[in-house]
Homo-oligomer: A and B are copies of this chain.
């Protein structure tokens, strides 16, 4: 049996008839190479925002069941257009809407989860030589109500379809693959041939905007191999990056990439050491206010009897975070700092290398870049530094960990 491939195209890749035709050409080329293709599409760029705007004018935003009904229309149109473009390219093709498989979801409107997917009709089409085009981002409840999967949900639709078909999941986007860092900052940035799901997740969480996190998590859990490719190059011109299980990353690099995120803020809370409920109360208040918290450090201060809790939040959330903390912890000693950025070094090899943290301090120290907060995970080290120092830090770390040679 020929390799099965699910090709996913996002909004910009189907943003106009010209773009749809080009994307269909990439699918056609893969089909001619002998790959058994299925396609998943987002709404045409701008459509989701346009439709969401209409529902908002009527007082309903994301999370309303009727908003989901309206939004799902966007992928309905693009799936039909992609099927027509594939037909124009010489293949048999047809669209499948979420309810037609069906794609069964649970969870709330506007942010549903895929609970299951019946691919029998879609597989029958493939077996009959028809390229199926699934409308992404949408499914239905057990009761037959329309649901959408939330922003970026089409990546998730593609990963789930690939899992159900035992296929590879090719995510076509506007970059040629995953890079060791942002080529706009470090021209020596190299494209990775392969990366593990875990590394991709950390890179995504640390600011790299290549893949949607939920789809990588899903792919990791189900063991779905992914590939990131450009839909803007001609067929065969995009080398792409494979996103695979750790054991399948041939090259045993220690560090795979350097990511960054600007406009961070740091909050420090100082409490007495007998106030053991401080972290719990603080994070409960922030969660209630729907503020994402990152890079948490708790330190016992030198002066006995006090404890410091530090963490970073996005700058735009700072005021809201301080207000929430003031309410939850009246009279707390709270300081904050803005104008910060986060740089992160990501790599599966970090697991075995405890000295990476020390060398990161050394590299940044040589550049006279002060580290405000340092946080580590299994395969990632992040440092909070001055916004102004981002470029220098990215370039220095990229060189120090040998990524210039990738």
A97 at the interface (CB under 8 A from B): yes
The reply to whether B95 and A80 contact each other, CB–CB distance below 8 Å, is no
CB distance from A160 to the nearest CB of B (A): 21
On chain B, the residues within 8 Å of A94 by CB distance are 65-66
Q: How far is the CA of A51 from the CA of B78 in the complex (A)?
A: 10
Prevailing SS type, chain A contact patch:
helix
On chain B, the residues within 8 Å of A64 by CB distance are 84
A60 at the interface (CB under 8 A from B): yes
The reply to whether B55 and A146 contact each other, CB–CB distance below 8 Å, is no
Residues A84 and B58 in contact in the complex (CB < 8 Å), given A69-B79, A77-B70? yes
Closest to A78 in B: B70
The reply to whether B55 and A84 contact each other, CB–CB distance below 8 Å, is yes
Q: How far is the CA of A146 from the CA of B17 in the complex (A)?
A: 22
A376 at the interface (CB under 8 A from B): no
The reply to whether A17 and B88 contact each other, CB–CB distance below 8 Å, is no
Q: Which residues of A contact B (CB under 8 A)?
A: 17, 20-21, 51, 54-55, 57-60, 64-67, 69-70, 72-74, 76-77, 79-81, 83-85, 87-88, 94-95, 97, 99-100, 144, 146
The reply to whether A59 and B84 contact each other, CB–CB distance below 8 Å, is yes
Closest to A55 in B: B84
The reply to whether A58 and B100 contact each other, CB–CB distance below 8 Å, is no
The reply to whether B80 and A55 contact each other, CB–CB distance below 8 Å, is yes
CB distance from A137 to the nearest CB of B (A): 13
Residues A84 and B97 in contact in the complex (CB < 8 Å), given A76-B72, A77-B70? no
The reply to whether A76 and B79 contact each other, CB–CB distance below 8 Å, is no
Q: How far is the CA of A84 from the CA of B67 in the complex (A)?
A: 9
On chain B, the residues within 8 Å of A73 by CB distance are 73-74, 76-77
Residues A70 and B80 in contact in the complex (CB < 8 Å), given A54-B17, A97-B146, A100-B144? yes
CB distance from A63 to the nearest CB of B (A): 13
CB distance from A69 to the nearest CB of B (A): 4
